[in-house]
Structure formats: C-alpha cells, structure tokens
Amino acid sequence: MTKARILDGTTIANEIKAEIAAEVSALALQGIKPGLAAVLVGSVPASQIYVRSKVKTCAELGLFSELITPPDTVTTEEMLGLVATLNAREDIDGILIQLPLPAQVNAKLLLEAVSPAKDVDGFHPVNVGKVQSGQPALAPCTPAGMIQILKRSGLPISGQNAVIIGRSDIVGKPAAMLLLQENATITICHSKTHDLAAHCRNADILIAAIGRPGFVTPDMVKPGATILDVGINRINDREEFDRFFAGDVRREELFLLKGSTLIGDVHPAAYEVSGAYTPVPGGVGPLTIAMLMANTVRAAKLRRG
C-alpha cells in the first residue's frame, strides 16, 4: 500500500492568510481596517493560547484587534453589556467570545446577543440557519477550514461518503451541513451509534471530532480514505504515550523533553490505513484561525464595503 499523504494544514492556512493580507491591503485603500474583538473570560490555559494566537494573527495580516479579558467572576448581565457595546462599535467587524465560558454565564443568551453581522464564529442561530439552508453566511471556522483543506488539496467531496464522529454545534453539525452543500453523502455518528466501526469503514471522508485521544483505530478506516482529525488532546502519561507512539523515536524525544505531547482523536496507526490525513498538530487547527480572519474580513466588507 502506498504511504498516506499528509495534509499540511499550516501550508494551506498560510496560503489563505496571504490571500487575506492582500484583501486587507485593498480595503486599506478604501480606508477600511477590519477589526476583531476577542473576548477571553477567566484563565482556561488552552483558551488563552488559542485567543493569543488569534490576536497575533490579526496583527500579522493587518487587521485591528482588541483583546478583552473579563474576570472569571463576570456575570451574564456584564457580558451582555459588553456585547452590546461591541455590536455598536463601528471599528469592530467581528466579535469572538472564546468558549468555554464559566458556568454562571448563560452562553446561549450571550451568543444570541452578538449581532449576526459580526458573528465571525458562525454560532448565532441566524447564521446556523443560513448555513443549513445553503445561503452565504459566516460559517463556523473549523468546519469551513476542513472544506478548504479538502478543496485546496484537490480531494473530491461531491458524491463521497462523509462520516462525522461527533455531533457538536461547533464542529460536527456544521461540518455535516457544509459537506452536504458540497454534495457529499453524510452520516453523523455519536455516543449512541450502533456499530460505529461499520459506519466509519464506509467513509471516503472520515471526520473525528469527539475529543478522545486516539479513539479511531485502524479497523475503523477504509483503506485509502481521507481522515480529518479535529481532536487536540494532550497526553502526559508514559503508559498512554507508549500505547499510541511506541517506536516513534522522534516523538519520544520531544515527549521526554516537554513532558507531554499532543494527539488527535485518531490513533497514529489508523492514519497509515488512510490515503491522506491531517496531522495533529498542524492539520485542521491552523485553518480554524485562518478562517476566523477570513470571516472577519468578509464581515467588514459586507458591513462597510
């Protein structure tokens, strides 16, 4: 069997970011500088890393950004007040409220308060509905990035069996809608699905978005299928490391140095059965940020262009 092709998300994201930087330069000639407000509540370490990376990318591409960091004791009312202010600001085109939020904040209420025109995460019901009915919309960044990976890698979508493991509002459900729009045949699997492996083996495009390290095993993959691995799981246990990476000398060196490593929702041995796969890190992740930038520029053009 030929070796599986690695779908390098960093390279694809850089390509998209270069296109966005060119668009931002063109908008500058019209006096428009797209602006993103990134709201980071409290001190969840992963969220801090993600949001910093989003803000940094804004600067790289010439977008304005503002980082707002309410304390983890913030109330729903205070957050609603903040969103109202951001909705009204002319210099802000996109509002990103990093999830998860502390338990006392009503996340649903808050996400519905964001103006749909500034909803660069694509979480507002208006945008969810538009994505579902195939209308142009601000679509959720991770699923939109997955479509970009497939298209820019020349991989077919139309007519393919796409099987999605995970039914989250952020990834699984919108991924299903975007792939359907591209004429794939969709199956969404979840924790109650009977004979998950049989569904997965039927996949030409297999999407793992469940947040369980190495969950997809080689027996679940059709030889030659495309795997998009959305999981980002950190492992720091030696036994767990060996279960997934025994014999991978390079990874072991890094693991010993850092005390942890990242693994997707797909077992490394399962990648080898595929025809092409996104690695973790460096697969779907970089696209999420690139698509956030794309959505922010799009929101600016629609609102001010």
In one-letter notation, the amino acid at residue 24 is V
Q: Which residues, at least 6 apart from 97, have a Cβ–Cβ distance to it below 8 Å?
A: 39, 41, 79, 83, 110, 111, 114, 121
- Judge if the upstream peptide bond of residue 100 is cis by omega within 30 degrees of 0: yes
User: Residue 96, SS3?
Assistant: strand
CB of 175 to ligand GUN, least distance (A): 12
Q: Which stretch binds ligand GUN (CB under 6 A): 95-103, 205-213, 219-227, 273-281?
A: 95-103
Select 141 or 220, whichever has its Cβ closest to ligand GUN: 141
Contact 11, 271 (CB under 8 A): no
> Is 99 a residue that touches ligand GUN (CB under 6 A)?
yes
> Is 68 a residue that touches ligand GUN (CB under 6 A)?
no
Select 227 or 291, whichever has its Cβ closest to ligand GUN: 291
> Is 142 a residue that touches ligand GUN (CB under 6 A)?
yes
Select 39 or 273, whichever has its Cβ closest to ligand GUN: 39
Residue in 138, 119, 144 with CA at minimum distance from that of residue 13: 144
Contact 125, 108 (CB under 8 A): no
Q: Which residues inside 153-182 make contact with ligand GUN, applying CB under 6 A?
A: 170
CB of 288 to ligand GUN, least distance (A): 6
> Is 97 a residue that touches ligand GUN (CB under 6 A)?
yes
Residue in 115, 36, 70, 41 with CA at minimum distance from that of residue 289: 36
Among 93, 121, 204, 229, the one annotated catalytic: 121
Residue 261, H or E segment = strand 261-263
C-beta nearest to ligand GUN: residue = 99
Q: Has 121 been annotated as catalytic?
A: yes
**Residues annotated within a binding site:** 166-168, 232
# binding residues, ligand GUN (CB under 6 A): 9
Q: Which stretch binds ligand GUN (CB under 6 A): 92-100, 197-205, 230-238, 276-284?
A: 92-100
> Is 119 a residue that touches ligand GUN (CB under 6 A)?
no
Structure tokens at 181: 């729009």
With b for 16 or more beta-carbon neighbours within 10 A and e for fewer, the 71-91 pattern comes to eeebeeeebeebbeebeeeee
CB of 98 to ligand GUN, least distance (A): 5
**Residues annotated within a binding site for NADP(+):** 166-168, 232
So which residues are the catalytic ones? 54, 98, 121
